[in-house]
Amino acid sequence: MQLSLSVGGLVFQFAVDRKVTADTEYTPFLCPGENPDVCITFRPDDNADECETAVSYDGAEVQVRYHPCIEGHFAALRGCLIHTPVEQILLLHNRFFLHASFIASSFGGLLFTGNSGVGKSTQAELWREHRSSEIINGDRAIVAKEENGWRAYGSPYAGSSGYFVRADAPIRAIILLEQAQENRVTAVSTSEAFKKLFLQVSLNHSQPEQINRLCDLLMALISAVPIYRLRCTPDVRAVQVLEVALRKGELHETG
């Protein structure tokens, strides 16, 4: 059986030797008939150590060998993805997961990121309620370096947010959130932006080559896309302050 899934602007084609169902959050990303960018083949192998994967140098071909004792893991698309090195594949295509709430606004794509509990979902909801923005993903967006610039994509990984929309937008800005009593937007130094964003990227940190590739991508992103710090309250005032900053487009770094 073959299933095709749109992930970060790439078509992943899964070839599995059994019927596979698509979980609710994956259904919007199904794209039958589209030419695949990544072909993933699953096959049982009595000699496999549970599950083993091999990825081609360009991320276009992936072989997944699994022991028959775990064949039940591949009954649903969720299980197929869990056993697929998606993060590695995305990196090979100049993409990565960013822990962020991603909205499509009148300014373009905005990514709210920061530590858990800082208010990413709250800020996204405020923009939806007060500025009619669309929430594309509430937990893990995909950031992509493409020929015409940087774009963000929705993904099936929505966490508890319930937002898993197949849509994308050019990135207007990435917003590093901090809770505060008053609202203020400032620019962020390159070193701080790198450190903050690196901590919010989903990646296997045991692979040095993947870390090096990610570092290169992050530096390219920071040089091309505005990174702002938003000290904010959980109400419409935060929207208003950020809106003014986005219109001005230039900020000075502050400590």
Which residue type is seen at 253? E
Q: Contact at 8 Å (CB) between 109 and 171?
A: yes
pLDDT per residue as tens digits for the range 121-160:
999 999 999 999 999 999 999 999 999 999 999 999 988 8
Provide the token pair at 235.
Answer: 């109400």
Own/partner contacts of 11-14, CB < 8 Å, gap of 24 or more, are 11/35, 11/36, 11/37, 11/38, 12/36, 12/37, 12/38, 12/40, 12/84, 12/89, 13/38, 13/39, 13/40, 14/40, 14/42, 14/77, 14/80, 14/84
Beta bridge partners of 229: 176, 186
Q: What percent of the chain has pLDDT over 90?
A: 81
pTM: 0.94
pLDDT per residue as tens digits for the range 158-189:
888 889 999 999 999 999 999 999 999 999 99
Residue 253 pLDDT level (bands cut at 50, 70, 90): very low
Residue with tokens 């000290």: 231
Please check the confidence at residue 56 and state whether its pLDDT lies above 90: yes
pLDDT per residue as tens digits for the range 76-113:
999 999 999 999 999 999 999 999 999 999 999 999 99
C-alpha triplet 53, 4, 45: angle, nearest 5°: 30
Please check the confidence at residue 255 and state whether its pLDDT lies above 60: no
Which residue type is seen at 46? D
Instruction: Kindly state the helix (H) or strand (E) to which residue 153 belongs, with its residue range.
Output: strand 149-153
pLDDT per residue as tens digits for the range 13-44:
999 988 899 888 899 999 988 899 999 999 99
Structure confidence at residue 251 (pLDDT): 58
